[in-house]
């Protein structure tokens, strides 16, 4: 299905365009000049937590204390805990392992796209073109810079789902009913948010007049049931977590953040190198011109009409709140998982990649004969780009690459398309030239959009302060209202934080945090505390935290980029240009709330992500552990299971007077049920495929 020259060509071009990442494996990748990315903020700390737990405690961590004073790690889909292909990253030092895993997934996605396009009877050269149009697109690489690792993983798996769906349409057998379901499982495991856009793309592929409706619905049902079964460890605990999180109160308008507007849509023809990845839409000059040309090929374009439909529908959804009534759709279960409407730009780019490869294939291998030359329909777009670019340069008096690059690439692409249509030269050669033109264009855009920062530099920033904090025992925490200690630093140096950044936060803790910090949490925010203007260095200036509440969380230091001396937090020290406030030596990790007890008789014997073991001389009262309570935490007194105090934010238990062994264990029922279900589905699915293959081989031998 793929000749050697195209197989090696895909690999060589892929590694060439990703050389900078390959030579900077130990760097964090950022989008433009921004200082933030989800890889260092979220994925690196999460994977490092798994890596450290396996190494130090020989256990898969189900709980994490790194942020929010503790949260259910196993119920958070961004933990990467249950997406087993992502564990490739754990085999290497981080973040090098993350970048290797990312590169491998992109390569998997590239080949998946190639095979999918070939299954649509598109030639190798055009499939080569379409594969890079999607998986080297400015959209994909902008989201790499934004650190959306799990989303990229899911997108890279999507072409394989489509490829095996086409296989099912061509050959209805048990094998091709199961494999799409397994890929659905992988997509759900990697990023549940991608499920709705994937469903849009999948439905387009499923449109086939030759398949009966009943047969089609049966296939869809089987595939989705297998997919849900193979990913139960992610979505089952998440359902419980969502009900207890601040995400349960999110409004439709908050879900529709980063809705695309007409202003952003003009970036369809002009690349941008700064700003949010969510609103990047530039696919490349060749993709735009070929897609428009396809609309004019009325004799040949029937097979791709449905892909134009997908592009249109995806655009409508990407505009989100700018389309009247769209907020009602985002209240539908499933859509509410997606918080950013502009993510539908991915199906849009996917559709254009399929369309452009089909059109390229058509004009290379078929003689296009119309009484009126089709190239004429591309000239309005070309002249708009040229005149707008020249006008912008003239009025701004700046030779910006945002406008210089389109002048060259649209001019060159138009000439190559004209040569293809007229077939004055060998069409395949011109087609490859168009591919080279696209790859070079996207290489320029992607290199100018991304920046690479040494992980050692990012992690060791503020070295003097880190040296002080790393001496803290794990039971103590810090609070930084200005994000002065990043989450990647906290994870690397084992510094547990009261604050944090994550889309899922326990609602009861958010309420406690609001009163503790003095910072109002008025709307849904992925950061705690929220930063209204997006500038942590100044946003919460003047807000004083409650010292007693910080003490309950066993907070040792408050660290801020601005002075907080009026808050009377304790001794002020200035280290590495940051203000550090020492709240004192009092240890509130273990305390009795209604009787007097000597703290020397409260001993912490063991502390791992899933278990805490204490030796306590009780005065007969309510013992509070300065750890967040959550369904699944159980307590055992002298080996006998007891009950934690219900409706308490903290883990509290009544102890009779005397010496006791107290053990807290995290045993989340929904996680265990999900894992059991998931492995049953995977074992059955792979087992059936193995048996099917064995029987097929037996028939061949007979």
Helix (H, G, I), strand (E, B) or coil at 333: coil
Task: Find the radius of gyration of the CA atoms of the chain.
Answer: 28
Please check the confidence at residue 228 and state whether its pLDDT lies above 70: yes
Q: Which residue has the higher pLDDT, 171 or 145?
A: 145
Q: Domain range spanning residue 117?
A: 4-31+82-452
In a domain, 129, yes or no: yes
Stretch 95-119: mean pLDDT: 97
Q: Report how far residue 145's alpha carbon sits from residue 119's, in angstroms, rounded to the nearest whole number.
A: 31
Q: Report how far residue 550's alpha carbon sits from residue 85's, in angstroms, rounded to the nearest whole number.
A: 40
Pairing label, strands 650-655, 621-628: antiparallel
Residue given tokens 């100018």 in the structure block: 448
Angle, vertex CA 335, rays to CA 205 and CA 104, nearest 5: 60
Helix (H, G, I), strand (E, B) or coil at 497: strand
Instruction: Residue count of the chain, please give it.
Output: 702
Task: Read off the pLDDT band of 699 (50, 70, 90).
Answer: low
Stretch 260-264: mean pLDDT: 85
Helix ranges (H only) for 174-251 are 174-190, 195-206, 213-229, 232-244
Q: In Å, how far are 617, 618, 619, 635 from 598, measured between CA atoms?
A: 8, 9, 9, 22
Average per-residue pLDDT in the chain? 91
In a domain, 87, yes or no: yes
Residue given tokens 């249509």 in the structure block: 421
Looking at residue 263, what is its pLDDT? 83
Ranking 137-141, 215-219, 288-292 by mean pLDDT, the lowest is 215-219
Looking at residue 701, what is its pLDDT? 40
Looking at residue 673, what is its pLDDT? 97
Cross-strand bridge partners of residue 109 = none
In a domain, 17, yes or no: yes
Ranking 15-29, 72-86, 176-190, 235-249 by mean pLDDT, the lowest is 235-249
Helix (H) or strand (E) holding 305: helix 305-318
Task: Read off the pLDDT band of 336 (50, 70, 90).
Answer: low
Residue given tokens 């020492």 in the structure block: 582
In a domain, 471, yes or no: no
Please check the confidence at residue 672 and state whether its pLDDT lies above 50: yes
Please check the confidence at residue 700 and state whether its pLDDT lies above 50: no
Read off the tokens for 591: 């305390």
Please check the confidence at residue 423 and state whether its pLDDT lies above 90: no
- pLDDT tens, 597-608? 777 778 899 999
In a domain, 687, yes or no: no
Looking at residue 421, what is its pLDDT? 87
- Bond preceding residue 99 cis, omega within 30 of 0: no
Helix (H) or strand (E) holding 365: helix 345-365
In a domain, 477, yes or no: no
Helix (H, G, I), strand (E, B) or coil at 240: helix
Read off the tokens for 406: 């389109």
Distance from chain centroid for Cα 224: 21
Looking at residue 697, what is its pLDDT? 58
Please check the confidence at residue 468 and state whether its pLDDT lies above 50: yes
In a domain, 495, yes or no: no
- pLDDT tens, 614-627? 999 998 899 999 99
In a domain, 217, yes or no: yes
Contact 158, 198 (CB under 8 A): yes
Burial class (CB in 10 A: 0-12, 13-18, 19+), 641: exposed
Q: Report how far residue 146's alpha carbon sits from residue 137's, in angstroms, rounded to the nearest whole number.
A: 14
Domain stops at, among 419, 452, 485: 452
Stretch 22-34: mean pLDDT: 93
Q: Report how far residue 692's alpha carbon sits from residue 686's, in angstroms, rounded to the nearest whole number.
A: 10
Please check the confidence at residue 698 and state whether its pLDDT lies above 70: no
Stretch 358-364: mean pLDDT: 94
- pLDDT tens, 276-312? 888 888 999 999 999 999 999 988 889 999 999 999 9
Provide the b/e sequence for 23-61 (b: ≥16 CB within 10 Å).
Answer: ebbbbbbbbbeeeebbbbbbbbbbbbbbbebeeeeeeeb
Looking at residue 448, what is its pLDDT? 92
How many domains are contained in the chain?
2
Ranking 157-171, 224-238, 258-272 by mean pLDDT, the lowest is 258-272
Stretch 126-146: mean pLDDT: 96
Ranking 1-5, 59-63, 579-583, 692-696 by mean pLDDT, the lowest is 692-696
Q: Report how far residue 307's alpha carbon sits from residue 201's, in angstroms, rounded to the nearest whole number.
A: 9
- pLDDT tens, 559-582? 999 999 899 998 889 998 899 999
Please check the confidence at residue 388 and state whether its pLDDT lies above 70: yes
Domain stops at, among 396, 431, 452: 452
Ranking 141-155, 207-221, 428-442, 506-520 by mean pLDDT, the lowest is 207-221
Read off the tokens for 571: 């001794």
Q: What percent of the chain has pLDDT over 90?
A: 68
Q: Residue 597: CB partners within 8 Å, gap ≥ 6? A: 591, 617, 618, 619, 621
């Amino acid at each position: 299905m793929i000749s050697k020259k195209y197989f090696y060509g895909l690999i060589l071009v892929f590694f060439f365009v990703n050389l900078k990442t390959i030579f900077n494996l130990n760097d964090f990748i950022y989008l433009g000049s921004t200082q933030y990315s989800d890889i260092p903020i979220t994925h690196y700390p999460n994977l490092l937590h798994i890596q450290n737990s396996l190494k130090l405690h020989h256990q898969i961590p189900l709980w994490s204390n790194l942020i929010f004073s503790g949260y259910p790690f196993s119920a958070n889909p961004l933990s990467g805990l249950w997406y087993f292909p992502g564990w490739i990253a754990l085999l290497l030092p981080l973040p090098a392992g993350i970048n290797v895993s990312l590169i491998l997934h992109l390569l998997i996605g590239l080949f998946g796209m190639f095979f999918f396009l070939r299954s649509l009877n598109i030639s190798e050269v055009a499939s080569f073109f379409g594969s890079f149009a999607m998986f080297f697109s400015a959209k994909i690489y902008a989201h790499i810079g934004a650190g959306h690792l799990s989303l990229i993983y899911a997108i890279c798996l999507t072409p394989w789902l489509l490829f095996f769906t086409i296989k099912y349409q061509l050959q209805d057998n048990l094998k091709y009913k199961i494999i799409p379901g397994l890929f659905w499982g992988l997509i759900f495991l990697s990023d549940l948010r991608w499920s709705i856009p994937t469903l849009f793309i999948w439905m387009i592929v499923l449109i086939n007049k030759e398949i009966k409706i009943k047969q089609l619905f049966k296939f869809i049902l089987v595939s989705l049931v297998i997919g849900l079964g193979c990913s139960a460890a992610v979505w089952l605990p998440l359902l419980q977590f969502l009900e207890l999180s601040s995400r349960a109160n999110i409004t439709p308008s908050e879900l529709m953040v980063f809705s695309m507007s007409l202003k952003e849509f003009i970036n369809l023809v002009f690349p941008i190198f700064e700003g949010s990845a969510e609103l990047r839409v530039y696919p490349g000059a060749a993709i735009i011109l070929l897609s428009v040309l396809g609309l004019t090929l009325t004799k040949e374009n029937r097979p791709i009409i449905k892909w134009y439909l997908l592009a249109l529908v995806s655009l409508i959804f990407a505009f989100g709140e700018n389309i009247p009534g769209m907020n009602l759709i985002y209240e539908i279960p499933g859509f509410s998982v997606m918080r950013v409407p502009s993510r539908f730009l991915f199906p849009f780019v996917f559709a254009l990649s399929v369309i452009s490869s089909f059109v390229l294939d058509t004009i290379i291998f078929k003689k296009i004969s119309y009484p009126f030359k089709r190239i004429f329909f591309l000239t309005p777009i070309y002249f708009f780009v040229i005149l707008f670019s020249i006008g912008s340069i003239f009025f701004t008096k700046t030779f910006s690459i945002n406008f210089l690059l389109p002048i060259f690439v649209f001019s060159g692409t138009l000439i190559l398309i004209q040569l293809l249509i007229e077939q004055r030269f060998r069409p395949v050669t011109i087609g490859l030239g168009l591919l080279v033109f696209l790859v070079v264009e996207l290489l320029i855009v992607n290199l100018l959009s991304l920046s690479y920062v040494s992980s050692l530099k990012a992690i060791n920033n503020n070295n003097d302060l880190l040296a002080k904090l790393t001496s803290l025992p794990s039971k103590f925490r810090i609070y930084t209202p200005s994000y002065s200690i990043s989450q990647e630093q906290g994870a690397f140096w084992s510094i547990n934080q009261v604050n944090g950044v994550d889309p899922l936060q326990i609602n009861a803790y958010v309420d406690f945090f609001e009163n503790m910090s003095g910072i109002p949490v008025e709307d849904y925010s992925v950061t705690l505390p929220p930063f209204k203007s997006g500038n942590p260095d100044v946003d919460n200036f003047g807000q004083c935290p409650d010292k007693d509440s910080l003490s309950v969380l066993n907070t040792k230091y408050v660290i801020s980029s601005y002075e907080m001396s009026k808050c009377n937090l304790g001794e002020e020290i200035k280290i590495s240009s940051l203000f550090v406030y020492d709240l004192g030596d009092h240890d509130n990790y273990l305390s009795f709330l209604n009787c007097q007890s000597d703290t020397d008789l409260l001993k912490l014997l063991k502390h791992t992500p899933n278990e805490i073991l204490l030796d306590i001389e009780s005065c007969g009262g309510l013992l509070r552990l300065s750890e967040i309570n959550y369904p699944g935490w159980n307590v055992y007194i002298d080996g006998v299971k007891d009950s934690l105090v219900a409706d308490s934010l903290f883990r509290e238990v009544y102890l009779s007077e005397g010496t006791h062994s107290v053990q807290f264990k995290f045993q989340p029922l929904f996680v265990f049920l999900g894992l059991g279900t998931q492995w049953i589905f995977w074992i059955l699915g792979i087992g059936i495929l193995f048996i099917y293959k064995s029987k097929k081989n037996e028939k061949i031998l007979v």
